[in-house]
Amino acid sequence: MKTINIAIDGPSGAGKSSIARTVAEELGFIHVDTGAMYRAVGLYAIRHDCLEPAQLIPQLEDITIELKFIGGAQRVMLCGEDVSDHIRTPEVSMAASRVSAIPEVREHLLDLQKRIAAENNILMDGRDIGSVILPHADLKIFLTASDEERASRRYLELREKPGCPSYEEVLADIRQRDDNDMHRATAPLRQAEDAVLVDTTNMGFHEVVAHITAMIREIMD
Ligand code: DC
């Protein structure tokens, strides 16, 4: 059976995951958040004190990452442990950004990402989905927003949690991760030539969801 594959790429904090999750629910697709896989590897690297490539690469064969979809929601398993609730801290974000620059780490996660796409109707979000993982996706979207807007959305999310960083720290963190993600040698963040740009700086959440859902319905007709 031919599956429908939608690629959503863009920088940190553009709202890819929450938008993709909501659109997927609406269409009955699976939402695959590939950032969660890099976050799980980052968590492993923190726990085992092996953030440097020379230490992490030899351990990759011990790092098993799986995705489970429970009621449509993705859970990420690291060596059999559900770590979904442990991978959203600023420390893990930065570790994920660092380990994702290691080509061997990307290679380690590539098969799993391709396999899920081959077997399901999916919206897959990340940085290199349209450019590397699913070059033949049925639709590619590059979702972005200004860095100040992305920082302010992230800050509002984090504000409720203990030890929340300041807005300035969140902005600096977002800019640092953008820089890492765009300037790494392997699979850098970039808009695929055939991707549709959606700039959400001045759009509300539901507006973006409706816009993307409509684009997908159009290609399904
Ligand atoms: O989307 P996110 O913030 O959860 O992603 C965490 C990190 O993983 C981010 O710094 C970039 C990296 N990443 C990547 O390099 N390629 C992907 N397909 C997804 C995420």
Residues 6 or more apart whose Cβ sits within 8 Å of residue 58: none
Q: How far is the CA of 104 from the centre of ligand 1 (A)?
A: 15
Give the Å distances, CA to CA, from 50 to 37, 59, 95. Answer: 17, 9, 10
Q: Convert the pLDDT of each residue in 136-176 to its tens digit.
A: 999 999 999 999 999 999 899 888 888 888 999 999 999 99
Q: Are strands 139-144 and 196-199 parallel, antiparallel or unpaired?
A: parallel
17 CA closest ligand 1 atom index: 1
Number of domains present in the structure of the chain: 1
User: What does pLDDT average to over the chain?
Assistant: 94
| Per-residue model confidence as pLDDT tens digits over 196-212 | 999 999 999 999 999 99
Tens digits of per-residue pLDDT, 69-102? 987 789 999 999 999 999 998 899 999 999 999 9
pLDDT in the model for residue 158: 84
What dihedral do alpha carbons 14, 85, 25, 68 form, nearest 10°? 120
CA 19 to chain centre: 12
> Residue 157: its pLDDT value, please?
85
Q: Whose CA is nearest to atom 10 of ligand 1?
A: 97
Question: Residue 218: pLDDT above 90?
Answer: yes
| Position 58, amino acid | P
| Residue 102, domain CATH | 3.40.50.300
CA of 122 to the centre of ligand 1 (A): 18
- Ligand 1 atom, smallest distance to 180 CA: 10
Domain membership of residue 54 as a residue range: 5-220
For 74, list phi and psi in degrees, rounded to 5. -80, 135
Residue ranges of E strands in the chain: 5-9, 30-33, 65-70, 73-78, 81-82, 122-126, 139-144, 196-199
Position 216 scores a pLDDT of 97
Nearest CA to ligand 1 atom 18: 126
- Our answer on whether the CB atom of 128 is closer than 6 Å to any ligand 1 atom is yes
